[in-house]
Each structure stands twice: as C-alpha cells, then as structure tokens.
C-alpha cells in the first residue's frame, strides 16, 4: 500500500509541475516545435531542468544500499537499438507533433475533462493494448 501511495503522490507532484510549467497547454508544445515560426523555447528549459533533477536524483538514490519500498533497484539493462524502439520513438514524435501532448501532460490534462484530451488518452491506452496483444501473439 505504501508503494501505491508513494507513486500517487509522486505522480501528482509531477502533474502539478507540468501544469505550473505550462506543459499541459498543447499550443506551448507546438510553439516549441515550430522552429520556423513563432518559436517558444520554454519547453527546452523544462526538459533541461528535468534532466538535471533526474541526474542528481539518480546519483543520490543509487548511492544508497537499496530502495526504501522495494527489494532491489530496477535499472534497465538493455542498450540495443531495435525496430520496436525506433518505431515507438517515431510514433511518439509524430503524435506529440500532431496533438501537442506527450503522455505525462495528457494525463495531467485529463482533469480538464476536455473531450480532445479524453479522446487522446483513450487512443493512447487503446494503442498500448493493441501492442500488448500483438506481442503476446508473437
């Protein structure tokens, strides 16, 4: 139960940070991607701050003997670049550019109840289910 509550609190803090930074506004994200037009560099600062916080967080957490709420750290070990990674990154980028949302801000924006956001998150969830079904079938 403690792990679920911890994940919930961390998710709420993350969502609040996205909202405060303006990343739940698709126009802001699309403005960042519009290099030839009215470019908005604020997303670069948000991403840079995220990278810095993550770097420091990993250094601090991994200096511990183990995690507080689990038996061991779960660190990804794969380093190969395969078709799934490239296709997933391409789909992510295309979706991000078309909708102006990536998964985190889309979930944070669900509280607005706006139909386009609900449709986007439902489509995202459906896509995840389809991929799992395809992978399960081999």
Provide the residue ranges of all domains of the chain, joining segments of one domain with +.
2-137
pLDDT at 8: 92
pLDDT at 59: 94
pLDDT digits (tens, 9 = 90+) for 34-92: 889 889 999 899 999 999 999 999 999 999 999 888 889 988 899 999 998 999 899 88
Mean pLDDT of the chain: 90
pLDDT at 105: 87
The dihedral over CA atoms of 130, 135, 136, 138, expressed in degrees to the nearest 10, equals: 130
| Distances in whole angstroms, Cα of residue 34 to Cα of each of 19, 27, 28, 53, 91 | 21, 10, 10, 26, 18
pLDDT at 101: 86
Q: How far apart are CA 131 and CA 138, in angstroms?
A: 11
pTM for this structure?
A: 0.71
Mean pLDDT of 6-35: 89
pLDDT digits (tens, 9 = 90+) for 84-136: 899 989 988 898 888 888 888 888 888 889 999 999 999 999 989 998 999 89
């Amino acid at each position: 139960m403690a792990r679920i509550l911890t994940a919930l609190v961390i998710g709420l803090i993350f969502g609040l940070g996205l909202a405060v930074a303006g990343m739940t506004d698709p126009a802001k994200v699309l403005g960042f991607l519009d290099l030839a037009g009215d470019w908005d560099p604020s997303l670069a600062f948000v991403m840079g701050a995220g990278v810095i916080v993550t770097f420091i967080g990993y250094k601090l957490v991994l200096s511990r003997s183990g995690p507080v709420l689990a038996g061991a750290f779960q660190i990804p070990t794969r380093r190969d670049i395969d078709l799934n990674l490239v296709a997933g990154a391409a789909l992510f980028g295309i979706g991000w550019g078309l909708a102006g949302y990536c998964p985190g801000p889309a979930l944070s924006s669900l509280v607005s109840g706006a139909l386009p956001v609900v449709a986007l998150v439902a489509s995202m969830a459906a896509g995840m289910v389809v991929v799992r079904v395809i992978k399960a079938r081999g």
